[in-house]
């Protein structure tokens, strides 16, 4: 009995400590963001943020970068992981190693290497540096560990080979199998990867700044340098957006179809 009480107390202690550790800074930030006007609490900082046209411009750009990055990641890494599971399982250690490389290379090093390599690549007057292609390609590389591993975990949970063969026997091509059978059964994994990719891109500063492209991260950095209360408001808006997207992911991913089952009856 004594041992039970002690362990329950300890559980609550850890839980409450964790909640305080997480929510106290958020509360402090929120409190600070309400004190733009002297002597009273107000949402003035938030109004200033939403009045600023640069907020919408930069946020819009980041949304576009996110969407394009997510689409490329979903197509590229899902197909790669699918092919690895189907035809090249012995390549797994090497592909997993490559997928982890973005963790090792700092963003600054990555972007300077890419600038150095692609600044000399021109086709007529077309140069990669003048387009957002390099920016998005960098984001794809940075999102690779998250998206690839998320998809890989999803593929491990289904019998990829048998489902593919079943589809082939019914006359389906590989792309039909991928989009009509594999993708729908990876819904939760893809959404998790999507969410992580979005979170990386929406708040990213270094790459966009060095390549000279507008982004939400660059805007926040500018606000921090020039203003006092608005950055606090922006931080909380970012958190709120992240939580909303997470809830959407949870909602869309609920009731995901069961996996291929070998029943006992």
Partner 1 sequence: MAFIQIRNVSKAFSPNTFAVRDFSMEIGRGELVSFLGPSGCGKTTTLRMVAGFEIPTSGTIFIKDTDITHKPPNQRNVGMVFQAYALFPNMTVAGNIGYGLRIAKRPPAEIEQRVKEMLALVHMANFGDRYPHQLSGGQQQRVALARALAVKPEVLLLDEPLSALDAKIRVSLRGEIRTIQKELGITTIYVTHDQEEALSISDRIVVMNGGRIEQIGSPFDIYNFPQTEFIAQFVGTLNAVKVEVKDAAAGILRLENQTIKTTQTSDLGKNGDQVMIAIRPERLSISADGAAGNVLEATVENITFLGAIVRIQVKIDQATFHIDTFNDPFIALPQIKQKVHVAFPEEAVMALKNK
- In the complex, the residues that contact partner 1 under the rule CB under 8 A are 158-159, 162-163, 165-173, 176, 180-181, 184-185, 187, 257-265
Instruction: Decide: helix, strand or coil at residue 261.
Output: coil
User: CA-CA distances (angstroms) from residue 92 to 80, 98, 152?
Assistant: 11, 10, 10
Q: Which is nearer to partner 1, 53 or 255 (CB)?
A: 255
Residue owning tokens 């995901």: 256
Q: Which is nearer to partner 1, 242 or 256 (CB)?
A: 256
Q: How far is the CB of 186 from partner 1 (least distance, A)?
A: 10
Structure tokens given for 68: 């394009």
Answer yes or no: are the C-beta atoms of 33 and 48 closer than 8 Å: no
Q: Which is nearer to partner 1, 47 or 161 (CB)?
A: 161
Q: How far is the CB of 152 from partner 1 (least distance, A)?
A: 18
Q: How far is the CB of 245 from partner 1 (least distance, A)?
A: 23
User: For the range 28-33, what are the long-range contacts, defined as Cβ-Cβ under 8 Å and sequence gap of 24 or more?
Assistant: 29/232, 29/235, 29/236, 30/232, 30/236, 32/229, 32/232, 33/229, 33/232, 33/233, 33/236
Q: How far is the CB of 88 from partner 1 (least distance, A)?
A: 16
User: For the range 118-121, what are the long-range contacts, defined as Cβ-Cβ under 8 Å and sequence gap of 24 or more?
Assistant: none
Report the alpha-carbon distance of residue 42 to residue 32 in Å, rounded.
10
Answer yes or no: are the C-beta atoms of 175 and 75 closer than 8 Å: no
Q: How far is the CB of 71 from partner 1 (least distance, A)?
A: 21
Q: Which is nearer to partner 1, 13 or 179 (CB)?
A: 179
Q: Which is nearer to partner 1, 169 or 225 (CB)?
A: 169
Report the alpha-carbon distance of residue 24 to residue 17 in Å, rounded.
10
Q: Which is nearer to partner 1, 186 or 208 (CB)?
A: 186
Residue owning tokens 């409190």: 31
Q: How far is the CB of 183 from partner 1 (least distance, A)?
A: 9
**Secondary structure element (H or E) that encloses residue 145, with its range:** helix 133-156
Q: How far is the CB of 157 from partner 1 (least distance, A)?
A: 10
Q: Which is nearer to partner 1, 67 or 163 (CB)?
A: 163
Adjacent-strand bridge partners of 153: none
């Amino acid at each position: 009995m004594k041992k039970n009480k002690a362990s329950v107390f300890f559980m609550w202690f850890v839980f409450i400590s964790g909640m305080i550790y997480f929510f106290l800074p958020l509360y402090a930030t929120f409190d600070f963001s309400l004190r733009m006007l002297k002597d009273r609490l107000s949402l003035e900082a938030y109004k200033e943020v939403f009045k600023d046209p640069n907020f919408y411009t930069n946020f819009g750009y980041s949304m576009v970068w996110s969407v394009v990055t997510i689409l490329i990641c979903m197509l590229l890494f899902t197909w790669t992981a699918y092919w690895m599971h189907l035809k090249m399982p012995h390549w797994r250690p090497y592909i997993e190693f490559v997928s982890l490389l973005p963790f090792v290379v700092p963003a600054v090093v990555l972007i300077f290497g890419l600038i150095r390599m692609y600044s000399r690549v021109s086709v007529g007057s077309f140069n990669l540096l003048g387009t957002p292609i390099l920016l998005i390609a960098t984001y794809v590389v940075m999102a690779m560990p998250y998206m690839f591993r998320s998809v890989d975990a999803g593929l491990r949970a289904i019998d990829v080979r048998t489902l593919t063969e079943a589809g082939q026997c019914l006359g389906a091509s590989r792309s039909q199998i991928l989009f009509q059978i594999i993708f729908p059964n990876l819904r939760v994994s893809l959404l998790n990867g999507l969410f992580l990719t979005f979170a990386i891109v929406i708040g990213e500063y270094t790459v966009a700044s060095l390549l000279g492209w507008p982004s939400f991260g660059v805007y926040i950095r500018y606000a921090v340098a020039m203003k006092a209360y608005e950055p606090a408001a922006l931080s909380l808006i970012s958190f709120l957006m992240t939580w909303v997207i997470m809830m959407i992911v949870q909602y869309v991913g609920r009731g995901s179809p069961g996996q291929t089952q070998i029943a006992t009856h």
